[in-house]
Structure 1
């Protein structure tokens, strides 16, 4: 299997979030590896694509990803 790009890994995370967080830790690890490969410091997500698009949901996502070594920002 080829390595995913940051955009592809981000799409996998959106899919996982829609599927009630199925395999989310695996997808976060894939995103972290893609970010390291590409020299990206922050993962940028579109908050409109999140299942919980409120402040609480975004903060929970940021905290969960931060615990796994990924800094999350949301696109305006």
Structure 2
């Protein structure tokens, strides 16, 4: 896996979500690695860029990412 920054990993996740979650698990793993490398404890996503920006969509995303070991918040 190449060195990727947290913002790059988050952008890759936005792209994966827009492409019907294509390679989402791989992108989450990249994000987790980038977060560990940069010492970041939580990934911050923009609600407007999500496929389901409502509360239910955000909670579903938080739950899924939590299962993968990534804490998520939204702005």
Q: Which runs of 4+ in 1 moved over 2 A?
A: none
User: 1:29-48 residue pairs with structure 2 within 5 A?
Assistant: 29-48=29-48
Residue 6 of structure 2 is matched in structure 1 by 6
* Structure 2: distance between partners of 1:2 and 1:68: 20
Q: Which runs of 5+ in 2 are unaligned?
A: none
TM-score (norm 1): 0.96
* Structure 1: distance between partners of 2:24 and 2:2: 19
TM-score (norm 2): 0.97
Report how many aligned residue pairs link the two structures: 75
Q: Which runs of 5+ in 1 are unaligned?
A: none
